[in-house]
Amino acid sequence: MKKIVFIFALLIILTTINLIAIDYQKSAGFFIGKPFGISAKFDISRKNAIDILIAFDKDVKFHTDYLWKDYERFKVTEGKLPLYYGGGFMFDDDDFCLQLKGGIEYIFDTNPLSVYIEIAPSFGTTFILQGGVGVRYAF
């Protein structure tokens, strides 16, 4: 029953985000670290995004975060290098955690790729420190 509720909630969230982000950039890719997973980011404005991660650790975990992006913090001559931070939640079959997230993403000018590094401490029934690197393709 938990898996049916999880899949139903995931479909509602993804459909809603896709409708909100229709005029902005969407990107998808993978995340390597703790945990490993499939990542998607939906820009809902120039300074805000919703980040989703379906992660595979001991079990399947679902993360979603609301992010603020700061393009002015780091200046680069090519591409963009926004600092991002925010919060959201992470859950699986056993845990529900509130999570903070922070990272840096390099967005290439010459191709639709971006690379990022982030850290995300989660607080709930247990403390979980997560982090890693990822690559996304924008469409």
CA 23, 25, 30, 34 dihedral sign is negative
Q: What is the pLDDT of residue 70?
A: 94
The listed CATH number (3.40.50.300, 3.40.640.10, 2.40.160.40, 2.40.160.20) that belongs to domain 2-138: 2.40.160.20
Cα→Cα distances 62→23, 49, 82, 94, 129, Å: 25, 17, 24, 12, 15
> What is the average per-residue pLDDT within 114-125?
93
8 Å CB contact between 36 and 136 = no
Whole-number Å distance between alpha carbons of 48 and 27: 14
Residue 52 CB burial class (10 angstroms; 0-12, 13-18, ≥19): buried
Residue 11 confidence (pLDDT): 57
SS3 of 22, please? coil
- Which sequence spans correspond to the domains of the chain? 2-138
Give tens-digit pLDDT for 28-81.
999 999 889 999 999 988 899 999 999 887 788 888 999 999 999 998 999 999
